[in-house]
A and B are shown apart, each in its own frame.
Chain A
Amino acid sequence: MKRFDAILDIMKYVDDEIIVCNIGFPSRELFEIKDRSKNFYMLGSMGLASSIGLGLAIANDNSNTNEKGTNADGFKKNKEKIIVFDGDGSVLMNMGSLVTIYNQNPKNLILVVFDNGCYGSTGNQCTYAQNIDLLEVAKSIGFKNCHDYNDIDFEDILLDECEDPVFIHYKILPGNADSPIIDFSPEEIKNRFMDSLNTNNH
């Protein structure tokens, strides 16, 4: 299975969750499969998908809800789940992020690493993930919820009230779909995304 079909599979289950999607073909493929306002498409800053997801998860989780059911920053409900679509190359570029996520321990963050052993968006050059097991790396850091995608039902993961973040290793084959360039400007992506989160600071 290549990344396009892997994203297609996951998006069957995604409903209200917030998605932060890695730069390049992953974002283009997600855009083609299921464009939605709760998708944040990265257009630069390779490596930072997991960090952006962590910031969102902490902001969403740490605020108290008021009588209207919204928290101080405008989220409709507390602990709306954040899903990050990351890649092996970008995880390797920002490995410290795994350590910070583990230590901050947001219970509303699901990190999905599509691992094709390649830098897919730059012409499928090999990554060192071909020689190491990123799932074992996550386990060795201490993540309690580490899964091989093939061993789980993703819908169950979304429904679970976890006490800790979830790390999912999704081993796939190299290859990009012929997905279109995202035809939103960066500002449009940001504003639509923030409007969908009901954040009120822009």
Chain B
Amino acid sequence: MDSSEAVYQGLKSAGINFIVSVPCVNLGKILEIIDEDEDIIHVPVTREEEGLGICAGAYFGGKKTAILMQNSGLGNCVNALGSLYQLYSLPIVMIMSHRGTEGEPIVGQVPMGKATPKVLDAMELEYFNPKNPTDAKGIISKSWDLSVDKGSPISILLDINYW
């Protein structure tokens, strides 16, 4: 199974119908696929934290939400994850292209790459790190219901080698 198609099928299976995004080269194909899907509202945003605000509002309005972003964006999201999502127990699926992992060619990606799992651990936010498309599709398919059950964001980290 194609790595991007697996993420898309997982999102569809989870019932996700509202996606905000800040691009990463690895997410490019998924963004093209969701733009073609008339049943998914896709809102490109200027900054990841803004995207979390939009998804909170969309959830209040009945949507099942996800954010697609690079893991660097996690740094921009920390306060909103705490003082909006954890405070009000809101769900969201966070699909993160995890840069700065093995095979990373850009040195600037490395610090946030290393910090990403620690940031999620520090915030006590559950995350998964599927290594292949089959696992990714399976985990993402269950991610929305899991997020609702826990009343907390669920992250899927997709390493460079995943793609």
Contacts and interface: CB of A to CB of B under 8 A. Distances in A.
Interface of A: 20, 40, 42-60, 62-63, 72-75, 94, 96-97, 99-100, 104, 186-187, 189-190, 193-194, 197, 199-202
B62 A40 contact: no
* Chain B residues touching A, majority SS: helix
Contact of B53 (A43, A48, A193): A48
8 contacts: A48-B53, A51-B56, A58-B18, A97-B50, A100-B46, A186-B87, A189-B88, A190-B60
Nearest to A40: B60
Nearest to A62: B41
Contacts, number: 130
B86 to A, nearest CB: 9
Interface residues of B, number: 33
A45 B77 CA distance: 10
Contacts of A193: 60
B62 A55 contact: no
A33 B60 CA distance: 23
A187 B61 contact: no
B64 A55 contact: no
Interface of B: 18, 41, 43-47, 49-64, 79-80, 82-84, 87-90, 148
Given A44-B84, A104-B43, A52 B54 contact: yes
B153 to A, nearest CB: 13
A51 B57 contact: yes
B58 A55 contact: yes
